[in-house]
């Protein structure tokens, strides 16, 4: 009975019909088996002999069985090479002579000084000959005698088993081989061929009944034990498969042990198998029950057990699963030779995989180790085709999976592009039209690829949802629009191009300018302008011009302003292609708190100028103000605090290019400062002149009085 051992992982296995079991058994019997070496002897044998001299010789016997064997009634007989029958008796054993289990018995001639179990008076020749262990005391007169227990012929002897063993010479000995060619495993090899079973030893090693016993070799355990469960209409069949040991020396049979997964083995084996078997069909498994199996390799005295294998017997009601791994149903392909792939999974094992194309069986497929099957279609016509996978397992459960694809290898045709409406920044509405040669069965155009720089190198495809393209390059120069379309199958159309020039829209300068003190900060704000994407702001403190600063907000805060300085703030609208209007301006002085200057009225921005960008919104660049010519802006709405005085002028402002805006407004700012200085000087002069006149007038009456007194 085997001991319980650690079980290998649970294997759920499924079934097939009774006929399959019968066929499998027939195939198993018909398969060639591994060549089997002879088992160690299960009877007494002559194990070692030495014939150096009349006194220095011995005959050793070995008992390869597990019980003591009596020699009563046995005899040792001899024949010299070339002599005839009958054999000559050397010694007759009596009831006092026996050999322990796996032990030895040693005979030496009378007068020998070496240890022995028994001495004999007969003479064994020093030349070639034959020795026989006989189960009677009657001299053997025929090789067919059933009383011959063991026999060895050596040298030129003709009375031999198979072929003669080597001749004895020198002080060595002739020794029977053990079952595994290992001297510590007993000397019991018996193939019925003396040449194969015996070998010469350079140094003799006789052993007596007092020597330690040597166990014969046990057969090796089987490997790769696995259990397959096939459920069928007539009950459950569990099939055990295993690999016989590479060396089956000593193997007499196999024993099959079975227990419940939650139980123990019984006291007797569940079944026995011939030593040539490599499979076993268990027809007594109960559905839904789990079992543990073990195979015992049985020898003449010892045996070995395989590792355990666990199986569950269950009715298989689950079909295989089929997963499409390359093309999915509803796919469009641009080739007439598509590759069809699927993955088949069934724990019970797949029996057949059939592939149909448009209702016709085209191939029976065999899954690989990962369960993958594939089929390379060839020469499919344009249009829709249906593939069908049909998979059967051993239950048999049958499942089907359909794959519908459309073959479209014809590229769509893109018509010339057309401009639907005039181009206004920053979009161009372009009309698309195309057709597919396949007609109603076509895969359909679904994607387009557009470039606005004349190249399609890096642009990706996008779904066709409209025919209006935005975000054109920010340039007033003509742009080359390039378009290509792609259908669902991946076919690319021809390329069409169209040259588009951007026409700028009218844009106004900001209105409703305000300057407000907030502690030590000055807050400059203005109203939003339709069409403006951001605003350019610049300001000066009477000495230095800062900006432009670009921002999208409607308020700019100057932190920690110098409240003793006169500030001038300016703002212009900027469109999406970085074109600017003229600047509207507003000033704030310490004396009046707010001195307003006119804002610029609406202007049409031209497409030709290029505005230099601001380096940073946070840190505007400074520029030294030079003396410019005065430029008077046209009226605009300006809001100020109550202390401010606003005096707009009515002279129209010229259209300004961005290159000239900086210098003109710098000059305007300095001109205002110069006028202020001139006014202050004139005021002081008037005050001085008035003082002189007053002084003079004050003196005249006094002199007049004196004159009267005179």
Name which of 150-154, 290-294, 383-387, 407-411 the model is least confident about: 290-294
488-522 core/surface letters (b: 16 or more CB in 10 A; e: else)? bbebbbeebebebebebeebbbbbebbbbeeeeeb
Residue 263 and residue 456: Cα distance in Å, rounded? 74
Q: What percentage of the chain carries pLDDT values higher than 70?
A: 67
Asked if residue 134 lies in contact with residue 149, where contact means CB atoms within 8 angstroms, the answer is: yes
Q: How far is CA 319 from CA 20, 316, 438, in A?
A: 19, 8, 40
Show the CA angle centred on residue 586, arms to residues 581 and 587, nearest 5°.
145
The yes-or-no verdict on residue 2 having pLDDT over 80 is: no
List the beta bridge partners of residue 386: 404
The yes-or-no verdict on residue 682 having pLDDT over 80 is: no
The yes-or-no verdict on residue 652 having pLDDT over 90 is: no
Query: What would the mean pLDDT of 95-106 be, rounded to a whole number?
Result: 93
Query: What would the mean pLDDT of 61-77 be, rounded to a whole number?
Result: 92
Residue 429: how many other CB atoms lie within 10 Å: 17
Torsion from C-alpha of 639, 640, 644, 650, nearest 10 degrees: -20
Backbone angles phi, psi at 669, to 5 degrees: -65, -45
The yes-or-no verdict on residue 696 having pLDDT over 60 is: no
Residue 135 and residue 61: Cα distance in Å, rounded? 13
Asked if residue 100 lies in contact with residue 86, where contact means CB atoms within 8 angstroms, the answer is: no
Asked if residue 558 lies in contact with residue 538, where contact means CB atoms within 8 angstroms, the answer is: no
Residue 387 and residue 403: Cα distance in Å, rounded? 5
Asked if residue 107 lies in contact with residue 119, where contact means CB atoms within 8 angstroms, the answer is: yes
Residue 394 and residue 230: Cα distance in Å, rounded? 7
The yes-or-no verdict on residue 649 having pLDDT over 70 is: no
330-352: pLDDT as tens digits: 999 999 999 999 999 987 778 89
Residue linked to tokens 């017997």: 313
584-627: pLDDT as tens digits: 999 887 765 544 444 433 333 333 333 333 333 433 433 332 22
The yes-or-no verdict on residue 228 having pLDDT over 80 is: no
Strands 104-109 and 118-120: parallel
Residue linked to tokens 């290019």: 657
Asked if residue 573 lies in contact with residue 552, where contact means CB atoms within 8 angstroms, the answer is: no
Query: What is the side-by-side order of every strand in the sheet holding 223-232?
Result: 223-232, 235-243, 279-285
Q: What percentage of the chain carries pLDDT values higher than 90?
A: 34
Residue 550 and residue 195: Cα distance in Å, rounded? 108
Residue 284 pLDDT: 81
| Length in residues, the chain | 710
Name which of 118-122, 466-470, 625-629 the model is least confident about: 625-629
Residue 439 pLDDT: 63
Q: Output the average pLDDT for the chain.
A: 75
Asked if residue 378 lies in contact with residue 319, where contact means CB atoms within 8 angstroms, the answer is: no
499-509: pLDDT as tens digits: 887 666 678 99
Confidence of residue 218 (pLDDT cuts 50, 70, 90): low
195's enclosing H/E stretch is helix 194-197
Three-state SS at 650: coil
Residue 704 and residue 496: Cα distance in Å, rounded? 107
Nearest to 313 by CA among 266, 345, 348, 342: 348
Query: What domains can be seen in the chain, in order of their start residue?
Result: 11-35+218-313 (2.60.40.10), 45-201 (2.60.40), 321-407 (2.60.40.1220), 413-500 (2.60.40.10), 514-676 (2.60.40.10)
Residue 650 and residue 665: Cα distance in Å, rounded? 18
Residue 443 and residue 435: Cα distance in Å, rounded? 11
The yes-or-no verdict on residue 539 having pLDDT over 60 is: yes
Of 68-72, 139-143, 284-288, 608-612, which one has max mean pLDDT? 68-72
Backbone region of residue 97 per phi and psi (left: phi > 0; alpha: psi in -120 to 50; beta: other values): beta
The yes-or-no verdict on residue 681 having pLDDT over 80 is: no
696's enclosing H/E stretch is helix 658-709
666's enclosing H/E stretch is helix 658-709
Asked if residue 377 lies in contact with residue 338, where contact means CB atoms within 8 angstroms, the answer is: yes
The yes-or-no verdict on residue 192 having pLDDT over 50 is: yes
Model confidence, pTM: 0.37
């Amino acid at each position: 009975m085997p001991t319980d051992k650690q079980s290998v992982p649970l294997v759920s296995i499924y079934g097939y019909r009774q006929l399959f079991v019968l066929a499998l058994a027939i195939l198993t019997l018909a398969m060639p088996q591994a060549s089997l070496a002879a088992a160690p002897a299960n009877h007494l044998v002559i194990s070692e002999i030495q014939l150096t001299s009349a006194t220095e010789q011995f005959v050793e016997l070995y008992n390869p069985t597990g019980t003591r064997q009596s020699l009563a009634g046995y005899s040792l007989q001899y024949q010299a090479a070339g002599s005839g029958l009958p054999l000559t008796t050397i010694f007759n054993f009596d009831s006092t002579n026996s050999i322990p289990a796996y032990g030895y018995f040693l005979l030496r001639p009378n007068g020998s000084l070496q240890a022995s179990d028994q001495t004999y008076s007969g003479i064994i020749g020093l030349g070639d000959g034959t020795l026989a262990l006989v189960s009677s005391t009657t001299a053997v007169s025929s090789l067919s005698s059933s009383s011959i227990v063991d026999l060895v012929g050596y040298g030129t002897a003709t009375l031999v088993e198979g072929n003669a063993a080597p001749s004895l010479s020198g002080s060595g000995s002739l020794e029977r081989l053990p079952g595994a060619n290992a001297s510590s495993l007993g000397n019991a090899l018996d193939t019925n061929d003396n040449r194969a079973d015996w070998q010469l030893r350079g140094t003799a090693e006789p052993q007596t009944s007092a020597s330690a016993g040597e166990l014969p070799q046990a057969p090796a355990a089987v490997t790769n034990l696995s259990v397959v469960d096939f459920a069928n209409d007539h009950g459950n069949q569990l099939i055990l498969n295993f690999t016989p040991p590479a060396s089956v020396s000593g193997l007499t049979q196999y024993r099959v042990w079975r227990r419940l997964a939650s139980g123990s083995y019984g006291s007797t084996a569940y079944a026995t198998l011939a030593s040539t078997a490599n499979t076993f069909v268990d027809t007594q498994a109960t559905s839904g029950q789990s079992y543990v199996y073990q195979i015992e390799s049985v020898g003449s005295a010892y045996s070995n057990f395989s590792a355990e294998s666990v199986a569950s017997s269950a009715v298989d009601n689950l079909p295989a699963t089929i997963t499409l791994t390359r093309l999915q149903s509803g796919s469009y392909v641009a080739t007439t030779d598509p590759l069809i792939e699927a993955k088949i999974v069934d724990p019970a094992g797949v029996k057949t995989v059939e592939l149909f194309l448009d209702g016709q069986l085209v191939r029976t497929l065999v899954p690989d180790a990962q369960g993958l099957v594939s089929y390379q279609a060839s020469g499919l016509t344009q249009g829709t085709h249906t593939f069908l996978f049909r998979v059967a397992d051993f239950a048999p459960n049958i499942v089907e999976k359909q794959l519908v694809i459309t073959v479209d290898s014809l590229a769509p045709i893109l018509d010339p592009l057309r401009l639907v409406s005039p181009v206004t920044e920053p979009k161009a509405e372009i009309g698309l039209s195309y057709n597919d040669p396949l007609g109603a069965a076509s895969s359909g155009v679904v994607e387009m690829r557009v470039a606005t720089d004349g190249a399609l190198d890096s642009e990706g495809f996008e779904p066709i949802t409209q025919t209006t393209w935005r975000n054109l390059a920010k340039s007033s120069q003509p742009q080359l629009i390039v378009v290509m379309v792609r259908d669902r199958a991946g076919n690319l159309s021809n390329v069409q191009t169209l040259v588009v020039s951007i026409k700028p829209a009218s844009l106004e300068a900001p209105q409703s300018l305000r300057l407000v003190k907030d502690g030590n900060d000055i807050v400059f704000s203005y109203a939003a302008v339709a069409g403006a994407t951001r605003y350019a702001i610049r300001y000066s403190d009477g000495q230095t011009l800062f900006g432009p600063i670009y921002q999208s907000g409607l308020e700019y805060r100057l932190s920690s302003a110098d409240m003793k300085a006169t500030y001038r703030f300016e703002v212009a609208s900027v469109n999406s292609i970085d074109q600017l209007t003229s600047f509207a301006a507003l000033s704030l002085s310490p004396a009046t708190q707010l001195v307003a200057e006119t804002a610029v009225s609406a202007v049409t921005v031209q497409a030709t100028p290029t505005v230099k960008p601001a380096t940073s919104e946070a840190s505007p660049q400074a520029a030294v103000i030079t003396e410019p010519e005065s430029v008077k802006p046209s009226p605009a709405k300006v809001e100020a605090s109550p202390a401010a005085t606003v005096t707009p002028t009515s002279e129209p402002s010229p259209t300004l290019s961005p290159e000239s805006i900086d210098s003109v407004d710098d000059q305007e700012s300095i001109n205002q400062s110069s006028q202020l200085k001139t006014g202050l000087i004139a005021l002081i002069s008037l005050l001085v002149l008035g003082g002189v006149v007053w002084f003079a007038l004050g003196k005249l009456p006094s002199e007049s009085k004196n004159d009267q007194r005179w």
